[in-house]
Structure 1
Amino acid sequence: MRLLHTMLRVGNLEKSIQFYTEVLGMKLLRQKDYPQGEFTLAFLGYGNEDENTVLELTYNWGVEKYDLGNAYGHIAIEVPDVYKAADDVKKMGGKILREAGPMNAGSTIIAFVEDPDGYQIEFIGEDHVRK
């Protein structure tokens, strides 16, 4: 078994694809409309789906906003330099929820950003991921 993808429902597919590709550096791997179901799926990631876990963005035609609830946490992305990654997002107009710095219960450096639909994304340094 392996983890294939995480699915997020989005209100504006083009805006979300732009965020994940231009701001976070993912690649659009594939996209398909499903007219009978009135939805579109887009798969994005840092590598091909055969060897990497990817992100599935689901756009239900005509739905512009979702209630994220309080159970969902975040997506975590490993980055070489958390400070630089957060600064890069800020320079591109992205929303920073938590500036880069040590987590409140340890020394691991993290930052949190928000995607166009309000989903939280944690940046965590590659030197602290598996400690």
Structure 2
Amino acid sequence: MQFLHTMVRVRDLDASLNFYCDLLGLKEVRRKENEKGRFTLVFLAAPEDEARSERLAAPELELTYNWDPEELTGGRN
């Protein structure tokens, strides 16, 4: 299976980065903070795809962290 991009909504950004980076070995390739929308996007890639992601479409995992607590109960969650 191949993919270019997938998004995971996270409640604890530091714990999620620990899991995906420290335990699974992904690398942070870029980060976007949006103060008006009150969220942070962190894009991760496998080490072998890290340099490629700047030049070509490479598989990435996007962590979406909403600054304000939100109860996720179903639907699009």
TM-score, reference length from structure 1: 0.46
Alignment match, 1:60: 66
Alignment match, 2:9: 9
What is the CA–CA distance in structure 1 between the aligned matches of 2:41 and 2:16, rounded to whole Å?
A: 12
Q: Structure 2: which 5+ runs fail to align?
A: none
Alignment match, 2:22: 22
Any runs of at least 4 consecutive aligned residues in structure 1 with deviations exceeding 4 A, and if so which?
Answer: 69-72
Task: Answer with 1 or 2: which has the greater Rg.
Answer: 1
More RCO (CA 8 Å, sep 6+): 2
What is the CA–CA distance in structure 2 between the aligned matches of 1:41 and 1:21, rounded to whole Å?
A: 15
Q: Structure 1: which 5+ runs fail to align?
A: 73-131
Identity of matched residues, % = 43
Q: 1:7 to 1:18 in 2, by over 3 A?
A: same
Q: Considering fraction of residues, name the structure with more helix.
A: 2
Q: 1:11 to 1:4 in 2, by over 3 A?
A: same
Length, aligned pairs only:
70
Please provide the CA RMSD for this pair: 2.6
TM-score, reference length from structure 2: 0.74
